[in-house]
Amino acid sequence: MSTPQQHPEAAPQYPQFRFVEFSTRRMKRGLVPARIEIIHSEGDHDEMWLSAGDINDYIRLWGPHEALTVALKAYGQGGPGMNYEAIAPRVLDPACGSRMMWFDRGHPDAVFGDVRSETLSITDRSHGRIDGTRTLTVCPDMQMDFRHLPFSDDTFRLVAFDPPHLVRAGPRSWLAAKYGKLSKDWRDDLRQGFAECFRVLHPDGVLVFKWNETQVKLSEVLALTPHQPLFGNTSGRKAGTHWLVFMKPSIQELTR
């Protein structure tokens, strides 16, 4: 009797790939900058530095795995011999949610990250809908945790940091589904998030931070950043949402 064939989605397809980093330090030394972990079906792991050409070969062989697509995007979809400095992604949105704030939700200069990748259907009758169902899709280029970003120091020209701002929300809350919810260790989470955003920013790079202070005051959050904002719109507690602009100090400023 023949063994029934397993459904293709019933188990992970091997090899699997994990994007580890895109190292601008290596790139500046003329070395291949994209590091990928390859996980084989036997459980062996390899980490390899792959050029855009190698990645294209892997995609031809194994199909468009998410980690390979992200690495290729880091190369600006380029081939070997291209000017990586000019084409590496310049913008990071490490908590992108459903990218509502973006005018172009697939902007080629940006890497979109989030801790989750999911489609949710939530009951919400606040907009007069009879069935009361809303759907939300969070589909980052790569899953990441803003407390431990998988990028080298000094990688991006701009980081847009829009972390969750709710500390209290019911289990069926549409707002919590849309924006996420902070953990009870939210101060540590945000402190690490700011430190990581500044670490991956290029000196003189810009951090745009978005915060809604209906539950936690902006001043409490600004106590968690290593640098203070230059300017922004502080629209008051009632209006709620603030946009603040920071600039990572240059090396000269840090050593002054």
Ligand X SMILES: C[S@@+](CC[C@H](N)C(=O)[O-])C[C@H]1O[C@@H](n2cnc3c(N)ncnc32)[C@H](O)[C@@H]1O
Residues found near ligand X in the complex (CB under 6 A): 94-101, 114-116, 138, 144-147, 162-164, 179-180
Instruction: Name the CA dihedral angle for 19, 23, 24, 27, rounded to a multiple of 10 degrees.
Output: -100
Identity of the residue, 38 or 196, whose beta carbon is nearer to ligand X in the bound complex: 196
Integer Cα distance of 107 and 59 in angstroms: 22
CB of 151 to ligand X, least distance (A): 13
CB of 45 to ligand X, least distance (A): 24
Integer Cα distance of 198 and 181 in angstroms: 22
Identity of the residue, 146 or 151, whose beta carbon is nearer to ligand X in the bound complex: 146
CB 138 within 8 A of CB 114: yes
CB of 212 to ligand X, least distance (A): 8
CB 151 within 8 A of CB 202: no
Identity of the residue, 144 or 207, whose beta carbon is nearer to ligand X in the bound complex: 144
Query: What are the CB-based long-range contacts (under 8 Å, 24+) for 223-232?
Result: 224/187, 224/190, 224/191, 224/194, 225/194, 226/194, 226/195, 226/198, 227/198
Identity of the residue, 144 or 221, whose beta carbon is nearer to ligand X in the bound complex: 144
CB of 196 to ligand X, least distance (A): 9
Identity of the residue, 55 or 95, whose beta carbon is nearer to ligand X in the bound complex: 95
CB of 49 to ligand X, least distance (A): 26
